[in-house]
Amino acid sequence: MEKRININAVAPKLYKGMLGLEATFATAEISKTLKELIKIRASQINGCAFCLNMHTTDALKSGETNQRIFLLNAWREASEFFTEEEQVALAMTEEITLISQHGLSDDTYRKAVALFGEYQVAEIIMAIVTINAWNRIAISTKMPVAG
């Protein structure tokens, strides 16, 4: 693989801004499990090997099961493995990650607000936006998958 820039080394102030955004999720109301499912699902859609490796590892360390990670790409067909809240957050993840197709639907948005409330919906949207930004950084700079 051709080596590309390391944004942290070339533009540390810009990279620090992304790290700051990520750090805000340490105090988020949404669960660590839900955050990791969002990160994994968006990274699957975007094909980000670096982020998939990182977030599946983090999810496993946090107690997520192999089976749910294996089934995440087919969560609609394996809905019995995911809570209603997780399913709505995963639908949001797909619709926002693939925003050029249709965007976040009114139906999904209404379900999310009913289940989570507006503040947690804001957290979920920002978590989705943030992982999509990280995916784009990792893919465009060809960040190597950690050992």
pLDDT, tens digit, 9 for 90 and up, residues 104-135: 999 999 999 999 999 999 999 999 999 999 99
Specify if 3 maps to a domain. no
Q: Which two tokens stand for residue 137?
A: 């950084």
Specify if 59 maps to a domain. yes
Specify if 92 maps to a domain. yes
pLDDT, tens digit, 9 for 90 and up, residues 13-40: 999 999 999 998 889 999 999 999 999 9
- pLDDT confidence band for 147 (50 / 70 / 90): low
Instruction: Quote the domain boundaries for residue 108.
Output: 10-140
pLDDT, tens digit, 9 for 90 and up, residues 70-116: 999 999 999 999 999 999 999 999 999 999 999 999 999 999 999 99
The Cβ of residue 56 has, within 10 Å, a number of other Cβ atoms equal to 20
Q: Are 40 and 72 in contact (CB under 8 A)?
A: yes
Specify if 147 maps to a domain. no
pTM of the model: 0.94
DSSP-H helix ranges across the chain: 7-10, 12-23, 32-46, 49-61, 66-71, 84-97, 106-140
Total structural domains in the chain? 1
Specify if 4 maps to a domain. no
CATH of the domain at 111: 1.20.1290.10
